[in-house]
Amino acid sequence: MKKDSMQTTQEGVIKYQLDFRQKKLPENIKLDQLTQCRSQLVRLGLVGQDDSRYGGFGFGNLSARYASVVENGAGLPGSPDAFLITGSQTGHLDTLSRDQYVLVEDFDAKKNSLKACGLVKPSSESLSHGVVYHSKPEVNAVIHGHDRELWQNAQTLDLPVIPSHIPYGTVAMAVAIDKLLVTTFVDRAAGVFVMSGHEDGVIAFGPDMPVAMNLLLNKKSAINAN
C-alpha cells in the first residue's frame, strides 16, 4: 500500500494522512444520481474550478454513503461509514466518469487519517464528509459547495455557522462538525451549515443526493426572497 502525506493549506490539495490503494472501483456501484447532481452544481458554480476564484484551484465536492450506491450490498467495506467521494483535482471537469471517484473505506478524524482506494485520490474535504456519515447514520449524501451569497448571508438565513478560527481540512474542523451535528441537527436527517473559516464554504447533507442538493438550492433561492 502506498502512504501519502501532504500538509498544505491550499484549496484542492490533500491535507491528511492517506493510506491509498490504486485500483478500479467495482462495477456494481450506481453513480448516475451522484454524477447528475454534481454536473448541475458545476453549472451553477457551486462546484468546479475557475481561474478567478481561490487561486484557480478546484472547489467543492460530493459524496454518497457506499452502502446507498452499491447494488445488492456486494463488496461492502467493514466500516458502515465508508463512502464514495469525488476525486481530488477533478474540479475542472464538467462531468465525472467512474474512474474519477474514490472509495473511502475507513477513516479516523482524530488522527486526520483515512484509507481509500480508486484511480484518483480523495478530495481534500474527505474527513469532513466522513464525520457527517459517522455522526448521522440516516444521512447518505453530502455536498461541500462554495457560494459567496450563502456564506455571507448565513445569519439572515438562520444557518448554523462553524467559527472562523477553525480552518478547513483539519482535526479541529472535523470535531466542530461533529459537535454541530449532534447538537443543532439532532433528530434531523437533512440540513445546511456554513464554515466561516473556509471562504464561501457550505455543507449540505440529506438522506439522498437530490434532497441534499434541493435543500442547498432552496437556501440559495431564499436569499432573494428576504
Residue 12 has pLDDT above 50, yes or no: no
Quick one: pLDDT at residue 146?
94
In this predicted structure, the answer to whether residue 6 has a pLDDT above a threshold of 50 is no
C-alpha cell belonging to residue 46: 457551486
- Quote the pLDDT of residue 192: 97
176-226 tens-digit pLDDT: 999 999 999 988 999 999 999 999 999 999 999 999 999 999 999 998 776
**What is the per-residue pLDDT across 17-50, written as a single tens digit (0 to 9) for each?**
899 999 999 888 999 999 999 999 999 999 987 7
In this predicted structure, the answer to whether residue 126 has a pLDDT above a threshold of 80 is yes
Q: Where are the domains of the chain?
A: 2-225
pLDDT given for residue 73 in this prediction: 61
Q: What is the pTM of this model?
A: 0.90
The residue among 120 and 223 whose pLDDT is bigger is 120
Sorted by sequence, the CB contacts under 8 Å of residue 154 that are 6+ apart come out as: 160, 161, 194, 196
Q: Check if the beta carbon of residue 12 is closer than 8 Å to that of residue 89.
A: yes
Dump the DSSP string for the chain: -EEEE-----TTS--SEEEEEE-PPPTTB--HHHHHHHHHHHHTTSSEE-TTSGGG-EE-EEEEEHHHHBGGGTT--S-TT-EEEEBTT-TT-SS--GGGEEEEEEEEGGGTEEEEEESSPBPTTHHHHHHHHHH-TT--EEEEEE-HHHHHTTTTTT--EE-TTS-TTSHHHHHHHHHHHHHTTTT-S-EEEEETTSTTEEEEEESSHHHHHHHHHHHHHHHHH-
The mean pLDDT of the chain is 87
Q: What pLDDT, on the 0 to 100 scale, is given for residue 27?
A: 87
**pLDDT(87) > 60:** yes
Cα-Cα-Cα-Cα torsion 213, 132, 6, 77, nearest 10 degrees, comes to -100
- If you average pLDDT over residues 47-67, what whole number do you get? 82
* Local confidence band at 166 (pLDDT 50, 70, 90 cut-offs): very high
CATH architecture of 2-225: 3-Layer(aba) Sandwich (3.40)
